[in-house]
Structure formats: C-alpha cells, structure tokens
Amino acid sequence: MSEIQFVKELGDALETAISQHVSPARVPRRHRRPKWVRPRVMVGLAVLAVGGGVAGAAIVDQSTTTLVAHGLSCYSGTGNDANAAYDVPQNGQNPTAVCATLIGEPATRLVACADPKIGAVVYESNGDPNQCQSLGLALLPANYAAANSQVYALQQALAADYNRADCTAPQQLAQEAQADLQRLGFTGWKAVVGTSTAFNVQYAGPCGDFPGGGAATWNVAAALDATNHTVTILSGAARSIQQAARRTFTQALTATERRCYTLAGAQQLVRHLLDTTAGRTVPTKFAATRQEPGGQFSDGARQRYYDQGCTLFADLSIASDGQTFLALLENNTGAPLKDGAAVPNSAYQPTLPQG
C-alpha cells in the first residue's frame, strides 16, 4: 500500500468515527481541545436585520426559549467546582439524559437547574432536594421540554435551509431563516447578516454560513444568540469546499503526526489530499512557520518530529474568494511564529516557499 493510499484510508476511518460522535467542544485547529473545557465563540458583528414582523403560533415562553437557546452544561460533580462540558448539543432531548452519557451516571442520579446566563445546568445529585437553590439557581421551568422541542425544530429548519444548495448567498439564507422564525412563532427574534467578524473565521467566501460552520443542528445552535434573540448568518465558502477542507485537515494532521515529511513532501501530500477530496485540482497556497523561541508543542511526539526537522501540518483555511485553500505548515526552517499571524486567512498573505 502506498503512503498516500495509507493516509487516505486512515483519514476515511477517522472521519467516519468523528461523524458518528458529537463532541461537546469544538476541536481547535492547532491542538485538540480537552473534553471538559468551554469553547468560546467570539464574533463581532455589524448586522443588517432581515424581514419584518413575526406571525404564527407563539413560542411557549420567551424566557424559557431564551434559556434553552443559551445551551446546556454538564458538570461531573455536585457543584460548580467540578469539571464541566459547556455548549453540549441537546438536539431536543432531556438535559439529564444528554448529560448522563457524558458524565457516566444514570439520569436518575442527576439534577437539572436553570442558570439564566448560560442555560440549563446539570449536576450529579448530592441527595439534597434543594440542591439547585443552594447553588443560587432555580429548577428548570415546567415548560422547558416544550421550549426545547421548539428550539430544536428551529435548528433543524436552519440546517435544512443550509443543506438545500451547495452555496446560498448570505442574504438569501437570512431570508429563509427569517421565514423559519416566523413560521415557528419566534416572536421578537430576527435573522441578521454579519458584515464583519472579529474572531477566527476560517472559511471565507460568497456563501451563507453559520458561526458554528456547517449544517448539523449542534453547529447551527451557535447561530442562535439567546441574549439578543437573533439568528446570525456569516459569509463563508460553499458546503463542498468546507467539506474538502475539514476532511483534508483530519487526514493531513494525522499523516504528519505519524511520519516525517520534508517541506516539499508535506506540500505534495496536502495538495493530493485536497485534489482527491474535491474531485478536481484546487488552488492551494502554503505558508511555513516555526516555533517562537522557547515554544513547545503540547504533544510530545509532535515536538520530537519538529525537532528532527520534519514538517508538520498545522492549519487549513479558505481565502475570501471561497475557492483558494491556505495551508499552514510548521518547520524549523520557516519564518518565526508570532502571535496572531499563525493562522492564514483573508488578511494574512502567505509567502509561497520556493520549489
């Protein structure tokens, strides 16, 4: 079996495994995030409201709907000093049932509380019937399940809008989202189009996208701003382009953590994986960088490869044209790594290596 074929088959197996598992925390590009850490979504927006008034059957209750939209947190202990998984995909299910799988305790041994700032919060029960109150929280409202179902219905509708075409213009996707809000009775909610972003937009382009990136309901959930009662639409690449980027990211990261590549070899690997996944030759640019003085990778094996002169795949993004892939490689002959300049994006023009 050739090395490239080995990488492709390994990547296919990894992607299948990932697609069958929903993680409560999004994996960052440089190093994998520990399971029990809250992911931070920081998006600065200049927004344009889409649509007008809202009609239809009203949502169960605005405050309860807002509570659901804030999200779900699962604590592996009886209080706030325990490890926690935040922004856990709920998908319309009972909060204790969802957290039972993560925590490893039966749902009957868990208690669900309401935190108006972060949503539903589930703890292991300490036997105290007033456990929520002792933590400064309230019990979940009686209509939580109904509101949970309505929010999930909205997430499914938004995912269906996104899936309807490979590329839908942001304004059109926002109009479809506004129609969903009206049809499902989300009074006071509106769809907005983000005209600028301030944090980690990896997939740029002319198509509508959600802050979570992609059509899965647990990603679409990131588009719901519970505080401002908005659904946010951003500009991104076509769905097929994003899929090619995600698939290649997994394969290239795994390959360069298992075998040693020269700079030219790593570039050839990434190009081949992108072209194979996209089904055509795609434009790709590369930037090479090295660690800042005294820096260390958290992964010891990755650090040893780097110290031996191997080239490591680090990141993959999409330029503002929505077609060109920008790949970042790490090699001890590259330019020094600087904070804020490591991840290529539309504002970062990589220097193409010679040869």
Confidence of residue 285 (pLDDT cuts 50, 70, 90): very high
Integer Cα distance of 169 and 209 in angstroms: 9
- Quote the pLDDT of residue 229: 93
| pLDDT over 90, % of the chain | 44
- Quote the pLDDT of residue 286: 92
Q: Of 88-97, 98-107, 333-342, where does mean pLDDT reach its minimum?
A: 333-342
Q: What are phi and psi of 114, to 5 degrees?
A: -115, 120
**Cα angle at 74 between 132 and 99, to 5 degrees?**
105
Confidence of residue 195 (pLDDT cuts 50, 70, 90): low
What's the predicted TM-score (pTM) here? 0.70
Confidence of residue 294 (pLDDT cuts 50, 70, 90): low
- Quote the pLDDT of residue 13: 43
Q: Of 19-23, 53-57, 155-159, 180-184, where does mean pLDDT reach its minimum?
A: 19-23
Compare 269 and 14 and report the one with higher pLDDT: 269
Handedness of CA 107, 135, 143, 116 (dihedral sign): negative
- Quote the pLDDT of residue 36: 40
- Quote the pLDDT of residue 202: 57
Residues 6+ apart with CB under 8 A from 308: 260
Integer Cα distance of 270 and 28 in angstroms: 19
- The half-sphere exposure of 176 on its side-chain side, counting CA atoms within 13 A, is 20
List the one residue out of 118, 120, 111 whose CA is nearest residue 143. Answer: 120
Q: Is the confidence at residue 205, as pLDDT, over 90?
A: no
Average pLDDT rounded to a whole number, residues 281-308: 80
Confidence of residue 17 (pLDDT cuts 50, 70, 90): very low
List the one residue out of 119, 80, 115, 79 whose CA is nearest residue 98. Answer: 119
Average pLDDT rounded to a whole number, residues 115-139: 95
Average pLDDT rounded to a whole number, residues 260-279: 91
- Quote the pLDDT of residue 130: 95
Integer Cα distance of 68 and 121 in angstroms: 11
Average pLDDT rounded to a whole number, residues 271-294: 87
Q: Is the confidence at residue 186, as pLDDT, over 90?
A: yes
Compare 215 and 112 and report the one with higher pLDDT: 112
- The half-sphere exposure of 338 on its side-chain side, counting CA atoms within 13 A, is 5
List the one residue out of 259, 261, 287, 284 whose CA is nearest residue 271. Answer: 284
Q: Outline where the chain has alpha helix (H).
A: 3-19, 62-70, 95-103, 131-134, 144-163, 170-183, 217-220, 239-256, 263-278, 300-307
- Give me 337's structure tokens: 């790594």
CB 107 within 8 A of CB 52: no
Integer Cα distance of 26 and 9 in angstroms: 24
Average pLDDT rounded to a whole number, residues 257-275: 90
- Calculate helix-pair angle for 144-163, 170-183, nearest 10 degrees: 150
Residues 6+ apart with CB under 8 A from 285: 319, 324, 325, 326, 327, 344, 350, 352
- Quote the pLDDT of residue 301: 76
Confidence of residue 295 (pLDDT cuts 50, 70, 90): low
Confidence of residue 214 (pLDDT cuts 50, 70, 90): low
Q: Is the confidence at residue 27, as pLDDT, over 90?
A: no
- Share the mean pLDDT of the chain: 77
